[in-house]
Structure 1
Amino acid sequence: MRVRTWVAGFALLAAPARAECTGGGCYDGLAQLVQAVLAYGLIGIVLLVLLIVPRWRRTGFRGLLLVLMVAVGVPLVSQAWQRIQRAWMETGEVLGQPPRMSLRTPLLIAPDWACRDDLCAAVLMGQGARGAYALRLEALSGRDMAQPLVLADLPLERWTEGAGGEPRQQRLTATEKAEALAQIDYLILIGKPFHQDGPGPLEAGLGLGEKVFLRLAMVPLTAGTERLDLTAMAFDVLDLDSRHRALGIPLAPGNWGTLWSDPLDPDLVARSLCGRGAEEPEWTCLNAAWR
């Protein structure tokens, strides 16, 4: 069962005021917090007066009920819609039985900067000295992802695990690329939902919604495949994350909550990426696959 983590509440409104913030808008959260406290304080005083004075007491109770309906009821409706959107996203996820990558020749597409201690690193650990054919996600920026990707036109590289977690990356020559394309029989797509401001090229290529982000996709290919059509993939694993936000309780400026999703069966994915024959996968690789 997926764990739901709420990031909401008045305390978060003041988060941008932390010491490391030096740019414009650093105190927006604090200003919103002050506005909310003043607004609810003023409303509370008015309602208290109405409830104390006998002839206005009925109006006071009605006002209190109205405030509760708005302050609590509206966020609850928003949160219900958020859960519906996430449930809809989860119907599009896929969890099958991916093969061991040590027995395949995968093509890895991942952010260049994110291949140190997460799923991308687990792929390299599992491949060992032979490394993995790879494509920097940044190389897809500006491409029309609605069209199939011609692999021969892409700047493919070989990535291997380096010292200190820094991957070694080497651009393939034309000859090496031709040899790679004849061998590649699996595709691994890795996104970074927590670090993305908006949908990237992989989300666009997969036709995901505006608030849906890719965490991991694992797709079998036929060796010698020349084109990748991301919209027509038969996934072994498709792990997504929803970024739909909802109003927090009580209703206030800037009080929003995000419902994050946990990864789909990290143990299954870890053994696929890290397993080598009858050997037990190394814990460092398993740990990376959980991130």
Structure 2
Amino acid sequence: MSGKIDWEPIRALVQRVLEQGAPLELTDDVRALLRRSAREVALPAKDTEKALRSIRSAMPLLRKIKRRIWGGSWRLMEAENRASRLQDAGDLKGARAQIEKVLAVETVPLYRKHATNALARIDRLDKVAASGQVDPKLPEHSQLFVLLHRVHQGKPLKLTRRMRAFLRHAAAEVAISEDETKEALKNPKSAEALLQKIAERRRKGRRRLERALWQMMNLRDAGDLEGARQQLRDLLAVEVVPVYRQAAEENLAGLDEPPPA
């Protein structure tokens, strides 16, 4: 499969026909859309052409395309979330198993590609866990917890030039001052304490944001916009990590936007 996949048109068709109850019209454009979407979710071309002979047979085709897009997306997202939590706990074997379960059942090429890439990242994290050396091609966040797990296992932090640069950047990302970081990097023990502090700010900030957003959405959906805003204000009163503050500020601003017409 080549070219960029754009599922917005098929999502719009699903919404219009399957959710809003509009009739399916098999125009040339709709046939082309169904044909392309079926190919992108790995449905056999022969079955697709047969389904496109009538509206009655095209409706199940549309439902099947929807199931593969929506179901595969949800399955991959859930697996990646579980794998991420396991990675943070130092369980790379468990993280790998979560992604392998997706590959065992997934048929949509795009989702298989994402899952395969996730496995490749876990392989690289395995090397970080074994060597204690940071990988410039991996996200900073995932390596923090792998390195911290090594420290908890009694393996010393290797203060190479690359590791120092990694920790300086990671510390800045969670709003730890340059002076504090410079002092911590004077010896491996204080550097390990710095690593612990960075990881804790990441972990606690992420959990705090997830909890605040969940409560915010529940209050918003219940019509309590002021209560929803307060959840984010409370978070901003204590959060120091810039990326989590930005997410809270953007969601707070979104609550003040007028609803779509």
State TM-score, norm by structure 1.
0.26
Q: Which has the higher strand share?
A: 1
Q: Which has the higher helix share?
A: 2
When Rg is computed on C-alpha atoms for both structures, the one with the higher figure is 1
State TM-score, norm by structure 2.
0.28
